[in-house]
Structure formats: C-alpha cells, structure tokens
Amino acid sequence: MDFGLSPEQRMFQESLGRHLAEASPLEVVRQARQPSFDPNRLVPGLAALGVAGLLVPEAHGGLGLGVLDAALAAEMLGRAAAPAPFVAAFVMAPLALALAGSPEQQAALLPKIAEGRLRVGAAFAEQVAARADAGVEVVQGRLSGRALFVLDFAADAYLVASRDGGLWWVEAGASGLERIPFSTIDTTRRVGELRLAATPAEPLPGASPAVLRRIIDAGRVVLAGDTLGAAQHMLEAAVDYAKTREQFGRPIGSFQAVKHMCAEMAASLEPCRAFLWYAAHAQDALPEEAALQAAHLKAHVAEVGTRLAKTATEVHGGMGFTDLLGLHHWFKRIAWNRQMLGSPEQCRREAARLRGLAA
C-alpha cells in the first residue's frame, strides 16, 4: 500500500511551486500591503494551472479532485506567501455548491469558478465562534445582521452562513449590503465585514449543519497546509542564513546552539506533513474521522508553525525583523492562519467534544 503522494500530485506541486516563484516574488508580496493592489492579479495564472477548479466536478469544467489536492496547493501558496484568494474562493465555495447547491446553481456558478472568472468570499466565522454582537438572521427570505472576518473579501459574491444553519448566496452588488474591508496583520490576504439590511439572497437548498461542518473542516485543513508551506519557507531561509552569516570568522551555522535550533525546527515540522496528508485524505474518504482529524491538525500545525516562525526569526537575529528580508510576511501569515476558522484552543475543545470528553 502506498502511503505517499502520487506522481501526478508531486508534479502538480512542483509546477505550482515554479509558477509562484516567478509570479509571486517578494516584491509582489510587499506590494500587497498597498490599498491599490489587486488581490486577484494572480488568479488567471492559478486558473490556467487548474488551481481554481481543483474541487469543481468534472461535469462542470473542473478537475474533480479532493481536499488532499487542495491542501497540496495551499502548501505551495503558503510557501510563496502568495497574495491570492484560495481557501474561500476555490475550496469552501465550490465544495459548498457541490454539496448543497441546486443543479441550476451548480450549472451556472461552478464553471465560472473553475475558470477563475468568479471569486467568492465566505462568511463562516460566526459558525465557528458564536458571538452575541454578530451573526446573520433570515427574515422572509432576506438577510440581516453582521458577518465578521469574511475570507477572500475582494469577491464577486459571498457565501453567508445564517444562524439557523442555512447557506446563502449573496451578490456583491446586492441592495442593503455594505462591505467594509479592514486590515489584519497578514497583508497578503483580504478580510472584511459584511453588514446586511434586508439583503436579497439565494438559498442553497441542500444546506445543513452537517454540510457546514464539512466545509469548515475542509477550510481548516487547507489553512493548515498554508501554514505548513509558510513554515517550510521560514525553516529553509533560516538554514540558508546560518550557512552564510559569519560571526567570529565562522558561519553561525557551525555553532552548536544554532545547529540545534535548526534541527529542532526540522524535526517538529516534518511530522506535520504526514498529518496534513492523512487529515486531508479523511475529508475525502473517511467521513467518520474527518471532523476530529481536521480539529487536531489545525491545532497542532498552528502551534508548531508559531514556534518555528519565532525560532527562524531568532536565527536571523536583528535582520529577521527587517523588511529587507521580508521574513515577517510569512511570520504574520502563520499567525493569521492560527486564528482563522478556530484557534488551537477552540479546535481542541471541539475535538474533546467529538470524543465525548467534554460537554
């Protein structure tokens, strides 16, 4: 039995990695902090490689692949700190439409997503962490309320989860919809708030709490993949720096303390890759394990990534905090991933409930 990636999956990762190395150099990542930056500028190139249609069924023009393939793409996007939409636009949205959309909705929307012509944001934060001051209610088929931390905010339409467990398609230009972008520590992704006042919306008829759970779990796995890629970049940058930076006439990598720091980073990160593959595989093939594995993965990789980002920055010394190296872009991306769709503490509480260890 083969427990590794297929040759096709490895080639896909390599080709995407090469494309991002050319299309998303550090200067593009720096530009992402500017208000005038187009957050969708990398989408055509990603769509040409099939990234936009990974989870879109073949009948609707996509590749019909699974969450594991999306997680592999996310690893490359995180490794490049690519300022492009992905987790909502090309993972959660097509998965929601495939699971809960009507045949008419699927036929109309999924081909556009696969081609990269339709970008979709996802408003699911209130389903992950209940907030008294936010959430969306349905009154006579229209939506009212606030949706916070909407992912892939620079979108043409939004998938909004209501308090009653429904899923709703909201066009970006709908009446009564106010879109408020805001800044986070991660300048490579766009996040914002939706304020809805009797906003017309189209329901996804197959929505249910179980469907919402599957979509959120897939999002968690993909964010963990992004963190893994970002942490891998920081590890490689730290090792390269330790080989070239000299102190007392020697490369600092020759000092035992620095050697140990790099070795411990590598040892902590490597098991995360197998964990990611298994949790992503569970989303596709082991539904009875999917939620538990997604929660454990999100918590574990977030904490490993946070520690590794701190250590890699320390290996660089004072240079690690400068914009010249740009290391802080990956540091902040890991920190943003840690909190979105559930912090490690929240994910572990959910895992305890799933195992019957907590109320």
- C-alpha span between 300 and 270 (Å, rounded): 12
CATH number for position 106? 1.10.540.10
Tally of domains within the chain: 3
Shared-domain flag, residues 326 and 349: yes
* Final residue before a domain boundary, out of 151, 183, 203: 203
Whether 264 is covered by a domain: the verdict is yes
Give the chain's mean pLDDT: 93
CATH number for position 293? 1.20.140.10
Give SS3 for 279: helix
Residue 304 host element (H or E): helix 287-315
Shared-domain flag, residues 226 and 174: no
User: Which two three-digit tokens encode residue 316?
Assistant: 């660089």
Shared-domain flag, residues 32 and 158: no
- Model pLDDT for residues 253-276, shown as the tens digit of each residue: 888 889 999 999 999 999 999 999
Shared-domain flag, residues 99 and 144: no
Give the pairing of strands 157-161 and 120-123.
parallel
Shared-domain flag, residues 247 and 266: yes
Whether 96 is covered by a domain: the verdict is yes
pLDDT of residue 128: 79
Shared-domain flag, residues 175 and 78: no
pLDDT of residue 1: 45
- C-alpha span between 297 and 126 (Å, rounded): 21
pLDDT of residue 16: 96
Whether 198 is covered by a domain: the verdict is yes
* Containing structural domain, residue 129: 120-203
* Final residue before a domain boundary, out of 114, 141, 165: 114
Taking the CA atoms of residue 125, residue 92, residue 270 and residue 338 in that order, the dihedral angle to the nearest 10 degrees is: -10
Within 8 A by CB and 6+ apart from 351, the residues are 292, 295, 296, 299
Shared-domain flag, residues 136 and 177: yes
Whether 330 is covered by a domain: the verdict is yes
Whether 359 is covered by a domain: the verdict is no
Shared-domain flag, residues 26 and 78: yes
If one counts every other C-beta atom within 10 angstroms of the C-beta of residue 14, the result is 11
Shared-domain flag, residues 33 and 164: no
* Final residue before a domain boundary, out of 63, 86, 114: 114
Task: State how far the alpha carbon of 119 is from the alpha carbons of 13, 144, 161, 305, in Å.
Answer: 22, 23, 17, 28
35 pLDDT band, cuts 50/70/90, is: confident
Whether residue 164 is predicted with pLDDT greater than 50 in this model: the reply is yes
Whether residue 246 is predicted with pLDDT greater than 80 in this model: the reply is no
pLDDT of residue 290: 96
127 pLDDT band, cuts 50/70/90, is: confident
Closest CA to 97 of 86, 87, 85, 111: 111
pLDDT of residue 322: 87
Shared-domain flag, residues 68 and 167: no
- Model pLDDT for residues 210-245, shown as the tens digit of each residue: 999 999 999 999 999 999 999 999 999 999 999 988
CATH number for position 141? 2.40.110.10
Mean pLDDT of 153-163: 95
Shared-domain flag, residues 227 and 336: yes
319 pLDDT band, cuts 50/70/90, is: confident
Whether 144 is covered by a domain: the verdict is yes
- Model pLDDT for residues 57-89, shown as the tens digit of each residue: 999 999 999 999 999 999 999 999 999 999 999
Q: Which residues pair with 196 in a beta bridge?
A: 145, 177
Whether 2 is covered by a domain: the verdict is no
Shared-domain flag, residues 62 and 109: yes
Task: Tell me the CA end-to-end span of the chain in Å, nearest whole number.
Answer: 39
- Model pLDDT for residues 278-294, shown as the tens digit of each residue: 999 999 999 999 999 99
For the residues of 39-77, what is the DSSP string, one character each? TTTTHHHHHHTTSTTTTS-GGGTS----HHHHHHHHHHH
Whether residue 3 is predicted with pLDDT greater than 80 in this model: the reply is no
Across 91-95, 139-143, 298-302, least confident range: 139-143
Whether 1 is covered by a domain: the verdict is no
Percentage above 70 pLDDT, the chain: 97
